[in-house]
Amino acid sequence: MTRHLVAFSLAAATLVVGAPSWAQQPVPTSHAIQLGLRTGYGVPFGKTGRTVTDQVDSDLSASIKGQIPIGLDIGYLATPNFYVGLTLQYGFGRIGSSGTGFCDQSGISCSASDTSLGVDAQYHLSPTASFDPWIGLGLAYEWLDLSVDSPGRTASATASGLQYLILQLGGDVSVAQNVAVGPFVSFSAGQYFNVSQHTASGITISQGITDKSFHEWLLFGVRAIYNVRL
């Protein structure tokens, strides 16, 4: 992975909640369309992998300082306990230490983002209770993007790959009819397959990552859901 590819981790503080006395009636959890909104903070681990022109397999954490994601979920509650759906997440990234010196120069502006699109399934342990713990499994395709702007010139790089496993744990606290809010933690493991660089002179260079390595994201956050009964 090229040194100029800077990624971001996302982080949001864990929300520790119980089933408060003011909790409303349980959110309907049978034959409903569920809409979700989530955010949090993510921490990167692992390696980026190497192309044939790379000298070393860099730590992902050296390139990615963190990301703050906004996630949208839409899915179907097939039974009171079982949910399956789609998820789209866009992470606002912070430049890591490998880009700090360059991006701090006068007239230079750097930005990064982490986008993923995938599917997930959840099993809810207490769907009719005011507090409903759940576990989830999923997979997603991921894009890490970096853009560098200077007067009259722009360059960018994108690494893409598959998150083979996304494991989630969370809990929904009912706050109103059809509405719940609660904490979650997510751990994903995947690999990058390709890196594409767009140079300031307009040339695009795409390379496969021949020496693939695993990288991981650990996310902490909070999500809100709204159920539409069918």
Domain residue spans of the chain = 32-229
Q: Distance (Å, rounded) from C-alpha 57 to C-alpha 138? A: 27
pLDDT of residue 29: 55
CB of 157 within 8 A of CB of 48?
no
User: What SS3 class is residue 102?
Assistant: helix
pLDDT of residue 220: 96
pLDDT of residue 105: 81
pLDDT of residue 27: 59
pTM listed for this prediction = 0.83
Per-block mean pLDDT, blocks of 10 residues, the chain (230 long): 38 33 52 95 93 87 88 94 97 83 81 94 93 97 90 88 98 93 98 90 88 96 94
Domain spanning 32-229: which CATH class is it, in words? mainly beta
pLDDT of residue 26: 56
Please identify which residue in the block is written with the tokens 């903070």: 41
Quick one: DSSP state of residue 27?
P
pLDDT of residue 23: 45
DSSP per-residue codes, 120-186: EEEEES-TTSSEEEEEEEEEEEEEEEEEEEETTEEEEEEEEEEEEEEEEEEEEEEEETTEEEEEEEE
